[in-house]
Structure 1
Amino acid sequence: MLWNYIYLLVAIMFEVVATTALKETQGFTRLMPSLVSVAGYAFAFYFLSLPLRSMPVGVVYAIWCGAGIILITAIGWLWFRQALDAPALIGMGLIMAGVMVINLFSKTLVH
């Protein structure tokens, strides 16, 4: 089970790198960010497929999306200086709470 979470963490990291690079592609008109984005998504989907061998797809996807949303939002705020208002922060908190509830209390994690 630990390896499933390691693979999922690696998938999340690749997805975050790919999405961050996607902003810099300017519609896939810049080569390097475009290559980073495409490669990052390819690796992200590969590593995402590994925990799906023994974990429910809905749970894996919820964790992947929730963590990705939080990390991308943090990068947008820190790196791209994108503003976050109170509703955005509350929404992020609810997403984090949802991911924590799944991980701490869900019995569907083991297949």
Structure 2
Amino acid sequence: MPLRQSRNGTDTKAAFMHWLYLYAAILFELSGTSCMKLSEGFQKPLPSIGIFIFYISSVLCLTLAVKVVDISIAYAIWSGVGIAVIATIGILFFGEPFTLRRFLFLTLIVVGVVGLNLSSGR
């Protein structure tokens, strides 16, 4: 049974795999950024090592994702979701303040990422 082809000629199964790479890149980036906070300025060795491991893993996965996903879409999703989720982690776990302004601007980031994704026509 032949694989279905997407609009850009990539089979659907492979395209799905590249979206999984993008989601993995986001999770690694979130882990690396969280380790940044936990390392206390590279004073704690394990989180300090985690920063490099997670960021290298994130860039590797992002590189694999952009083989199929448009780079403008992949990067917007990677950075936008990363910003929104890490801000939420900061509020929930690191005691950062939750303000109406912060919520408003994070919402604008999410709206921008969704709008860019919808404008791709795919």
- TM-score calculated relative to the size of structure 1: 0.89
Instruction: Quote the RMSD (CA, aligned, Å).
Output: 1.3
Mind listing any 5+ residue stretches in structure 1 that lack a counterpart? none
Report if aligned partners of 2:29, 2:82 keep a CA contact under 8 Å in 1: yes
Q: Which residue of 1 aligns with 2:110?
A: 96
Q: Which residue of 2 aligns with 1:65?
A: 79
- In structure 2, distance between residues paired with 1:44 and 1:55: 15
Q: Which residue of 1 aligns with 2:54?
A: 40
- In structure 2, distance between residues paired with 1:76 and 1:7: 25
The alignment status of 1:78 with 2:92, answered yes or no, reads yes
Q: Which residue of 1 aligns with 2:10?
A: none
Identity of aligned residues (%): 31
Q: Which residue of 2 aligns with 1:4?
A: 18
**1:36 aligns to what SS in structure 2?**
helix
Q: Which residue of 2 aligns with 1:31?
A: 45
The number of residues matched between the two structures is: 108
Q: Which residue of 2 aligns with 1:55?
A: 69
Q: Which residue of 1 aligns with 2:9?
A: none
**1:50 aligns to what SS in structure 2?**
helix
Match for residue 36 of structure 2 among 22, 32, 42: 22
Structure showing greater relative contact order (alpha-carbon pairs closer than 8 Å, 6 or more residues apart): 1
Deviation at 1:105, TM superposition (A): 3.6
- In structure 2, distance between residues paired with 1:83 and 1:90: 14
Q: 1:99 is aligned with what amino acid?
A: V
Q: Spell out structure 1 runs of 4+ moving beyond 3 A.
A: none
